[in-house]
Structures are given as C-alpha cells and as structure tokens.
Amino acid sequence: MSTLEIKGLVASVAGKQILNGIDLVVRSGEVHAIMGPNGAGKSTLSAVIMGKPGYVVHAGQVLLDGVDLLGLPAWQRAQAGMHLVMQYPSEVPGVGITDMLHEAFSARGRDTHGLAAAVAAEADRIHFPPALLDRSLNVDLSGGEKKRNETLQLALLQPKFAILDELDSGLDIDALRDCARRVEDATNEAGALGVLAITHYNRLLEELHPDRVHILVKGRIVESGGPELADRLEIEGYDKYLKAVRL
C-alpha cells in the first residue's frame, strides 16, 4: 500500500501565485477526480507534483510514501513511482515506443525480456492499431491515438500513482471508454494504481469511477465529496464557488 500526500502546497509560475494551499491524500487503488473552472490551478498542480521546470514552490510538501518529491528532479520522481499522462502528449521523432519503454524499464532495473510481446498485448487490449507501434513516438498520430499510446505506456510502466491531465480531451466515445477502462482496471490489479484524474467533464468519470471528487477554485480545494458531487456540478456549474472564494 502506497500513499501520495500533498500538504499545504503553495506554488507560482511566471511570478503569479496559482496554488494557495492544497491538501490531499491519495492511496493505492483509489481514484480522486480534480474538477474546477479554467484557471483554477488543475494543470499547475500536476506540473508541480511532477517537477515541470518554471514552477516555484513557496510552501508545502508532496510526499510519496513519506519521501518529499519536491527536492527531486522529474526523472527521479518518475522512478519513485509517479507518472503523468499529458493533456498534449509530446512527439519524439526517431524514437519508437518499444525503444522508449526498453530504456525506461532498464533505468528502473526491470527485466526487458518479452517487452515487445507485452507492448503488442497491451495495444490489442486498448485497440491501438499494431501498425502504429512501428512509428516514432506520437508522430503523425491523431489525438485519440496519442491518448491510447499514453495509456499503453502507463499500463506497462506500472507506476504507483498516475496523474491524468485531461485524459478525455480530444477523445471520441470509443477511445475514452478504452483508455478509462484500462486505467480503472489498473487500480484493481497487482500494485493497485492510485489515480489523480484532472477533468472538466463527468463523462470520464462514468468510465473511471472516482472514490472522491474535489473541486479546485482559485488554487484551493473548496469542496470534496463522492461521485455525486460531479453529477451536481453538471447541473449547477462553478458559479457559487467562484463567488464564495476570496483570496
């Protein structure tokens, strides 16, 4: 059992403070959804947790099994068990997905025997066309194909915790179902993936069933609840929270 604990996190980017004290605990096998209006700090939260350059942390901790990640470079956070599924996956010309995964496995001290077969099996599971496995990473792929590719990587790397930064962005119904269900399955498999899912829409949560839903407004979590909270947001929106929060 692993635990990701965010304590009093305050952070800024480009001289503007975005996060104003985030407290959150996610455990193995749990799915926590982060929802909020544009500019609330959702993507900033993912960037700070993963160590994206340009963000300044003023206070707080991000603890993975008691170890503060904030003092580690991004690659060490990944090796410790963190993983980010990006909203806009990067294209890497000249590097194939199996080659990339081979290096990632080697860096983690994992056996690469049978990796190509494992990649093929995961691709089939999420309906990622086998022909695309021979292309450079994400190059000339559609938005849905890129997200399937990201999901495939997540499934094979088997991190302790995954941050999904708008996994549902740009996906059609079939791609959304395939990707969300694969992540959901990973929360119930050996290792019990913990998930922090950033999303604007309830449609992702119809497939990736959250244990908790958190509303982020102006860099603060202003309300937390069960899945019914996301249903309520679909009807009410964020207006009452925006009016209530003062910095």
Question: Residue 113: its pLDDT value, please?
Answer: 93
Question: Residue 112: its pLDDT value, please?
Answer: 93
Q: At 219, which amino acid appears? A: G
Q: Please report where in the chains the tokens 């975005």 appear, as a residue.
A: 18
Question: Residue 136: its pLDDT value, please?
Answer: 92
The answer to whether the CB of 16 falls within 8 A of the CB of 55 is: no
Work out the number of other CB atoms within 10 angstroms of the CB of residue 20.
Answer: 20
The phi, psi pair for 218, rounded to 5°, reads 50, 40
Give CA–CA dist 33/225, Å, rounded. 10
Question: Residue 247: its pLDDT value, please?
Answer: 54
Tell me whether strands 161-165 and 194-198 are parallel, antiparallel or unpaired: parallel
Question: Residue 246: its pLDDT value, please?
Answer: 63
Give CA–CA dist 191/187, Å, rounded. 8
Count of residues in the chain: 247
Q: At 143, which amino acid appears? A: G
> At a CB cut-off of 8 Å and minimum separation 6, what does 57 contact?
9, 10, 11, 48, 70
pLDDT per position in the chain (247 positions), as tens?
999 999 999 999 999 999 999 999 999 999 999 999 999 999 999 999 999 999 999 999 999 999 999 999 999 999 999 999 988 888 999 999 999 999 999 999 999 999 999 999 999 999 999 999 989 999 999 988 999 999 999 999 999 999 999 998 888 899 999 999 999 999 999 889 999 999 988 889 999 999 999 999 999 999 999 999 999 998 888 888 887 766 5
Tell me whether strands 31-35 and 212-217 are parallel, antiparallel or unpaired: parallel
Residue 70 per-residue DSSP state: G
Give CA–CA dist 217/223, Å, rounded. 9
Work out the number of other CB atoms within 10 angstroms of the CB of residue 25.
Answer: 13
The phi, psi pair for 26, rounded to 5°, reads -125, 135
Give CA–CA dist 150/154, Å, rounded. 6
